[in-house]
Structure 1
Amino acid sequence: MKKEVNLDEVLVEVGEFGWYQVRIYGLILLPIFFSAVYSSQYIFAAAAVDYRCKVPECESNPPTFEINGWGPWAYPEDGGSCDRLLPLNDTCERGSFHPILTQTCNSWVYQNTDSMVYTFDLACEEWRRTLVGSMHSAGLFVALPLTAFISDTFGRRVAVIGTAVAPALVGLIRSFSTSYVMYVTLEFLDSAVGAGVYSSGFILALEMVGLKRRVLGGNIISCTFALGQAFVALVAWAVPEWRTLTRVLYVPSFIFIVYCFFLEESVRWLLSKGNKKEAARIIFKAAEVNKKKLSPETIRQLTEEDEIVQDKPETEPEKKKTDSIVLQVLKSRVIMIRLVVCSFWWITVTFIYYGLSINSVSLAGNSYINFMLTALIEIPGYFMSFVTLDRFGRKSSIMSAFFICGLSLVCLPFIPGHIIWLQTCLNLLGKLCISMAFSSIYIYTSELYPTSLRHTLLAVCSFCGRLGQLVAPQTPLLVAYMDSLPYLVFGAMAATSGMLMLLTPETLNTNLPDTVTQAENISVVPKPNQRRDIIE
């Protein structure tokens, strides 16, 4: 009886994480590293800068940020950021300004010229500064579905190369921005054309790794992203001026053009599209690089052309299923439930992740070091994901991460203010656990959907997750109603996500599903070592 190629069994023969996969990972990790840089650069390029009203009567030439003692009689009690006391004459003596009446400033003196806040004169318009981050997040709503369509239609390789190179051009042009509108427009475009490199690279890398090395591969990618975030703070510390910083960070990505000659397509995607010849070529190459010998049965399956024609013609209705992604999802109650549950998970992890990170650069001390530490604390979380997912299973590991995160954040606001070390520990524990959940959810979500829909449905979940990223910066406003409310919301969402884990199947030691039917039956699919007995 003729049967289709079982890629998971073939990968065992080829080597689940041999030198071929190491080389693929080496190529993919570099653009993922830079995607972390580009997702964080605006925090420093559009950093808040201290400024004060310019008082022509008192300024030196050129004016400096220091006020040299005249501030108390020239500025109102609020410090003189947006208003100054009304001048009574052209001198800068005590009594030369009205003691109460003020006037709105029309020019400012900035503490430094590094941020685009100075370049585009955004003093007293904080909303325009923070809009830069919002525009970057908004670009994700274009990037994720666009990249998913390209990836599932034209291939993972095309998606990775395109999203890796495009930001270099957009970022370079943005560094020459002549207006605020031009800057924020290009910030949106930067994210729209480049933010999908993480998901496309993640899937390309994961689809060529055996199931026993899937968690390891996923966590290597997550750690690379964390290192990229720390790297951007280090570079910004050394090169603080935003135009120069942007050029230093973006120009290196032009090198990804050469990936056209080195990066191979996903074998799993090729097989799903019926291109067995190209898939076989890559598998044989991988086996050669890994110094592995394929079994005669595997070689026969890969080389016999009749297998493609006679194993694939399924029925006409079956063929039409692959034509409509929306129809496949809507017809499957199981996939629909998973899609809703996964979307809520993603909203939760992004909401808490960014909610805890949002104020890192405003903490006491060096803002660059604070940001680096906030990024690097994620790595222990990813390590815990690696240790627990394959040992205790996906569900119990992720559920525990959600519950511990929720508990630590709910307890945090009730710790007395003088016990700073305990507050810090609970905050770091929450960040560590949500980082673990974030990394694990990427892997778990990828395992719940069939190959033909995997990137599209993963993108839908990630797309929904961006809602959490958009709302997270607004959580400080909740303090006006109750000091502990932001953390109570974080905790409630984490606990709810943990409970929703009960609605999805365990995917530990199961092969990646290639069809909707296989995905629906994950919970009853036999494990690889049992599969041969059932077939016989």
Structure 2
Amino acid sequence: MSTGKVRDFDEITSFLGDYGLFQILIIVLLSFSAMPAGYMGVIVVFVSDTPEHYCRKNWTTAAGFNDTEQCLDGWVFSTDRYTATIVSEWDLVCDNAWKVPFSTSLFFVGVLIGSFASGHLSDRFGRKPVLFFTMVLQTVTALIQATSVTWVMFSILNCLRGLGQISSLIASLILGSEMLSQSVRVTYILLGHSLGFGIGYALLPLFAYFIRGWRMLLVAAAIPGFLFIPTWCLIPESPRWLLQKGRVEEAELVIHKAAQWNRVPAPEVIFRAGECLELMQTYTYMDLIRTHNIRNITIFGVFIWMSVTMVYYGLSLNSSNLNGNVYLNCFISAAIDIVVYVATWLLINRAPRPTFLFSTLMFCGIMLLVIQLVPEDMPVMFQVLALVGKIGVSAAYCFIYVFFTELMPTVVRNMGLGICSTAARIGAIISPYLLYMSVYSRILPYIIFGTVSIMAAVVSMLLPDTRNSKLPDLITQTKHIRR
């Protein structure tokens, strides 16, 4: 007889084990899906970089954004580093220099829209369809963008590419998190999903080094996305989402297939009739502020995600402005991310979740604020502090996906992460303009990034600890904030 009580999903499916063939397949395939998102988010470093240039008429040397004289006969751009970027293609210097950070911000506007829309769409239509649709959107848009004939066309497509990039990233994160047990979930997010993102990021400077034109670079970046499409038949829908929609038989079919892959026996009836009724209720974005606990977590999440993402992309997009080789700087920045993701996985369970987040953000903030003490004649020290500061924010950037996946209950998890990711993209939209402030003061962006990082660190200590906790399914299971 049914009791109507919701059983814990992890407990029900514990017979599958943790690291069977099914779990390994899911981790590998979904991690592969995150790789294109890794380089699509920062490809602007090379596509929109400003080469050295001089005025065609009077051969006056120019230094990028500091130009003040009108150049009536156009510009001549150096081809030592690139054969072409959008800056050299459409003369985006002097009075048109504002178009460079604006087109970058439009990418993050698309990311913002995608963060909000993907949560609603995947809660309505499923994690799997949204993942594959947005992966195709990101890939096809990059190909079309490579054929852009005007800056306006490029910028509009930049927005659409951003929409696809974040939507596929969030959908794959949620899909994997909801199919894996608690002990595997952290490994998937850090060593799978985040590492896939980081490897994609690290591949970008390698592609860009051998492909010096922005059009062919976009084409090369789009191709791996097509390789993911055939995996449709291997990746199942989230059984948690199927249960939420009342599709119990389909959820059981996914679990039975997983048991076959892992070669373990499965009960003939996995979910008893009536026990998942609460999961089948309809939820909206208003439920994210319905109770005191979920409201506080949502508000704190919005601020922390916006702050972390603003600092992370601010430091990542700044690769071309640092001294030295832009390709090497970008690769070092990506390599830092990869090392940090592995280190985070090794250290994550050695401290409470809020303490870990506090430590990484505080470390980043202090390193960035110390930059203002570096003399002008020590550019190497300036660069080292910026890269060391990125260690902290990179750890925080991957960690918040783990932390807030554990904080948000299943019934509103995708919407909750969507809202947090939407706020994060506001931070990403702001970051190019903060970098642009370096025209007036080289250290000003770092002072802002450092201050924001420390503020987010303080707020993080108010969040509850979720270490070794099971995923909450219902809003009533949301943890209390700390006081």
Per the normalisation by structure 1, the TM-score is 0.82
Shift of 1:371: 0.7
Give the conservation status (yes or no) of the 8 Å contact 1:35–1:194.
yes
Is the counterpart of residue 288 in structure 1 residue 256 in structure 2?
no
How far residue 82 of structure 1 moved from its aligned partner, in angstroms, is 10
1:122 aligns with 2:124: no
What is the aligned partner in structure 2 of residue 165 from structure 1? 136
**Separation in structure 1 between the aligned mates of residue 52 and residue 388 of structure 2, nearest angstrom:** 32
- Structure 1 371/477 Cα, relative in aligned 2: closer, same or farther at 3 Å? closer
* Partner-residue secondary structure (3-state), 1:265: coil
Q: Could you give the per-residue CA deviations for residues 1-47 of structure 1, whole angstroms, max 9, x where no partner exists?
A: 63544321134321223221111122212221011122222322222
Q: Quote how far apart the aligned CAs of 1:481 are.
A: 7.9
- Distance change (3 Å), C-alpha of 1:260 and 1:384: closer
* Structure-2 change in CA distance of 1:141 and 1:205 (3 Å): same
2:457 matched to 1:498?
Answer: yes
Matched, 1:391 2:393: no
Instruction: Measure, in 2, the Cα distance between the counterparts of 1:214 and 1:190.
Output: 28
CA separation of 1:179/1:517 partners in 2, compared to 1, >3 Å: closer, same or farther?
A: same
The residue number in structure 1 matching 2:403 is: 444
Q: How far did 1:433 drift?
A: 1.0
Residue equivalent to 1:338: 297
Please state if 1:148 is matched with 2:119: yes
Distance in structure 2 (CA, Å) of the matches to 1:121 and 1:421: 31
- The verdict on how the C-alpha distance between 1:432 and 1:32 changes in structure 2, with shifts beyond 3 A counting, is same
Q: Is the 8 A contact 1:76 1:83 kept in 2?
A: no
- Identify the range of structure 1 (470-479 vs 385-394) with the bigger mean alpha-carbon deviation: 470-479
User: AA paired with 2:345?
Assistant: F
2:203 is the counterpart of 1:244: no
For residues 450-529 of structure 1, the aligned pairs below 5 Å read 450-476=409-435, 484-520=443-479
SS of alignment partner, residue 506 of structure 1: coil
Deviation at 1:243, TM superposition (A): 1.9
1:137 maps to 108
Structure 1: gaps of 5 or more residues? 56-73, 85-101, 524-536
8 Å contact kept, 1:52–1:81: no
Q: Give the deviation of 1:343 after TM superposition.
A: 0.8
Q: Does 2:352 match 1:406? A: no
One-letter amino acid matched to 1:23: L
Residue type matched to 2:463 in 1? T
Determine the structure 1 residue equivalent to 2:390: 431
Taking only aligned residues, the RMSD between alpha carbons, in angstroms, comes to 2.8
Relative contact order (alpha carbons < 8 A, sep ≥ 6): 1 or 2 greater? 2
Distance 1:416-1:53 versus aligned 2 partners, 3 A rule = closer
Q: CA deviation at 1:512?
A: 0.6
Percent identity over the alignment? 29
Amino acid at match of 1:285: K
User: Which one-letter code corresponds to 1:232 in the other structure?
Assistant: L
| Alpha-carbon spacing, 1:126–1:422, altered in 2? closer, same or farther (3 Å) | closer
After superposing the two structures, state which structure 1 stretch, 326-335 or 453-462, moved more: 326-335
- AA aligned to 1:302 is I
Moved more, 255-264 or 372-381: 255-264
Alpha-carbon spacing, 1:271–1:323, altered in 2? closer, same or farther (3 Å): closer
Q: Deviations over 1:357-406 (max 9, x none)?
A: 23212323321111111111112221232122222221221111122222
Measured in 2, the distance between the counterparts of 1:476 and 1:248 equals: 28
- The structural deviation recorded for 1:142 is 1.4
Q: Could you tell me how far 1:224 is from its partner in structure 2?
A: 1.4
Which residue does the alignment assign to 2:231? 259
In structure 2, the CA distance between the partners of 1:482 and 1:118, relative to structure 1 (3 Å rule), is closer
Q: Report the residue type matching 2:238 in the other structure.
A: S
Amino acid aligned to 1:139? G
Q: Is the 8 A contact 1:151 1:158 kept in 2?
A: yes
Deviation at 1:417, TM superposition (A): 5.0
What is the aligned counterpart of 2:241 among 261, 269, 275?
A: 269
Distance 1:136 1:477, change over 3 A: closer
Q: Of the candidates 223, 226, 231, which is equivalent to residue 203 of structure 2? A: 231
Runs of 4 or more consecutive aligned structure 1 residues displaced over 6 Å after TM superposition:
77-84, 480-483
Deviation at 1:77, TM superposition (A): 7.7
Checking the alignment, whether the CA contact within 8 Å between 1:446 and 1:458 is kept in structure 2 is yes
Q: What is the match of residue 44 of structure 2? A: 42
| Alignment deviations for residues 489-516 of structure 1 (CA, whole Å, 9 cap, x no partner) | 3333222222222322111121111111
DSSP-derived class of the 1:109 partner: strand
User: How has the CA–CA distance of structure 1 residues 77 and 399 changed in structure 2, closer, same or farther, with 3 Å as cutoff?
Assistant: closer
Q: Which of residues 147, 157, 163 in structure 2 aligns to 1:186? A: 157
State the Cα distance separating 1:455 from its structure 2 match: 0.8
Separation in 2, partners of 1:475, 1:311: 51
Q: Greater shift after overlay, 476-485 or 29-38?
A: 476-485
For structure 1, which segment, 283-292 or 146-155, has the greater mean C-alpha deviation from structure 2 after superposition? 283-292
Pick aligned residue for 1:105 from 67, 72, 97: 72
Name the aligned partner's letter for residue 230 of structure 2: V
SS at match of 2:98: helix
In structure 2, distance between residues paired with 1:122 and 1:487? 25
Q: Deviation at 1:247?
A: 1.7
Q: CA deviation at 1:313?
A: 5.0
Gaps of at least 5 residues in structure 2 are none
Number of aligned positions between the proteins: 475
